Amino acid sequence: MKLRNFIQFGTMVLVALGTLTVQGQDQSFKVGEFNFKTPSGWKWISGETGMRKAQLAFTDEKTAEKAEVVFYHFGAGQGGTAKANVDRWLGQFQEPREKLNAKVEPKKIGNGQVTFVQAEGTYLSGMPGGPKTAVPNAKLHGAIVDGADGNVFIRMTGPKSVVEKAASAFTQMVEAPLKQ
């Protein structure tokens, strides 16, 4: 009986480790109707957990500071308009909107539409409705990808210098599924 329990436990551990390895090596993932690819050098953090459909991280090799990239998808007709989300994202900074050096750029790519958003200032990190932690000298680089199955909301936040280093790869990652 002990041997069988040991074998069952060992099998569960191997399956769990195999799953973690596959996720760690898997560079492609799907959010909504779009297939994204993790940029080279970025780290896969997790798949679906609650509202988050995927989470990545980019680490600056020189400073070890990180930017967090989170993907959200709520389904068709859910999650609000691009404008409502842009307003909400900009409202997550301590400074008023006019002091954020904010840029909102709607862009047509292939047959798709993306709204890119950038802002910088003191980011108020934390769950909606919960306590906030002020993060000075932060930057947000976001994208709202219009989809038939509902919009995909992608938000990268972190220290300004780190987000700026990752911005080009972020944009390429967002645009790639629309070019297929």
62 vs 51: CA distance, rounded Å: 32
Predicted pLDDT at 46: 83
Tokens standing for 162?
Answer: 């780190």
45 vs 20: CA distance, rounded Å: 11
Average pLDDT of the residues of the chain:
87
Tokens standing for 104?
Answer: 């909102």
At 176 the three-state DSSP class reads helix
Please check the confidence at residue 166 and state whether its pLDDT lies above 80. Answer: yes
Tokens standing for 35?
Answer: 């297939």
> Any idea where the domains of the chain sit in the sequence?
27-179
CATH superfamily assigned to domain 27-179: Mog1/PsbP, alpha/beta/alpha sandwich (3.40.1000.10)
Nearest to 26 by CA among 7, 46, 9: 46
User: Using one digit for the tens of pLDDT, what is the confidence trace for 89-142?
Assistant: 999 999 999 999 999 999 999 989 999 999 999 999 988 788 999 999 999 999
59 vs 49: CA distance, rounded Å: 22
